[in-house]
Chains A and B, each alone.
Chain A
Amino acid sequence: QVQLVQSGAEVKKPGASVKVSCKASGYTFGSYDINWVRQAAGQGLEWMGWMNPNSGNTGYSEKFQARVSMTRDNSITTAFMELSGLQSDDTAIYYCMRRLPELEFDSWGQGTLVTVSS
């Protein structure tokens, strides 16, 4: 079955960077885009961007454009999301998702809590 397994919780200081991984299994990794969203405590979902594992092409939300990078390592079927210049309002759960054409986000990782605190 399709699975997306994310890396564990992180605690970072303001100004630092975080890199979250998302290991895919159960399907052909290169066939479908991986997207990332985040959710602050008690808040809604905020879309951050997408990456095509086959081509490496990416598209980012304008809000994160300057400080987000989405990459992949096809040899280990893993996608990565790196966010730099962390501030306290970046404290949130970060999710990776597989995007299927017409269905949208059918499979989600379990989420990674990133806490930014001095």
Chain B
Amino acid sequence: DIQMTQSPSTLSASIGDRVTITCRASQSISSWLAWYQQKPGKAPKLLIYKASNLESGVPSRFSGSGSGTEFTLTFSCLQPDDFAIYTCQQYDSYPRTFGQGTSVEVK
């Protein structure tokens, strides 16, 4: 199985900050990576697919990059609505696997 490792596990940031989360795959997954946002008590929501493509309706302050084994999710200017848990997921192969999640918290 492909292992997905995110860092950091928790990130404290302020409104307006530029924030980056990293996701590493244990083997190459080309660009088959998705990022999800999850708020308490809610289902995850797709933000980014195929490593760098913004899902419809997702604000342009989110961006994704990377290929192979290293990927990043960046918030250009953190907004109050962005405090949540962010999880990466590979879909290069089955079984699908997820990172452990990064909690973005208020500093």
Inter-chain CA distance A78–B81, complex, in Å, is 33
Among residues of B, the one whose C-beta sits closest to the C-beta of A64 is: B95
Inter-chain CA distance A50–B95, complex, in Å, is 10
Q: Which residues of A contact B49 (CB under 8 A)?
A: 102-104, 106
Contact: B46 with A44, CB < 8 Å?
A: no
Q: Which residues of A contact B94 (CB under 8 A)?
A: 50, 59
Chain B, range 37-92, C-beta contacts under 8 Å to A: 43-46, 49-50, 55, 87, 89, 91
Chain B, interface SS category: loop
Determine if A61 is an interface residue (Cβ-Cβ < 8 Å): yes
Determine if A53 is an interface residue (Cβ-Cβ < 8 Å): no
* The residue from A35, A45, A46 contacting B44, defined by CB atoms under 8 A apart: A45
Chain A, range 9-68, C-beta contacts under 8 Å to B: 35, 37, 44-47, 50, 59, 61-62
Q: Which residues of A contact B98 (CB under 8 A)?
A: 37, 44-47
Q: Which residues of B contact A46 (CB under 8 A)?
A: 98
Inter-chain CA distance A61–B55, complex, in Å, is 27
Contact: A105 with B34, CB < 8 Å?
A: yes
Inter-chain CA distance A109–B44, complex, in Å, is 9
Number of chain B interface residues as a range = 20 to 34
Contact: B46 with A103, CB < 8 Å?
A: yes
Determine if A95 is an interface residue (Cβ-Cβ < 8 Å): yes
Contact: A45 with B87, CB < 8 Å?
A: yes
Shortest CB–CB separation between residue A30 and chain B, in angstroms?
21
Q: Which residues of A contact B18 (CB under 8 A)?
A: none
Mind listing 7 A-B residue pairs with CB under 8 Å?
A: A44-B87, A44-B101, A62-B95, A95-B44, A104-B91, A106-B49, A108-B45
Task: Other than A35-B96, A62-B95, A95-B43, give 18 A-B pairs with Cβ distance below 8 A.
Answer: A37-B96, A44-B87, A45-B89, A46-B98, A50-B94, A59-B94, A61-B95, A95-B44, A103-B46, A103-B50, A104-B89, A104-B91, A105-B34, A105-B36, A105-B44, A106-B46, A106-B55, A111-B43
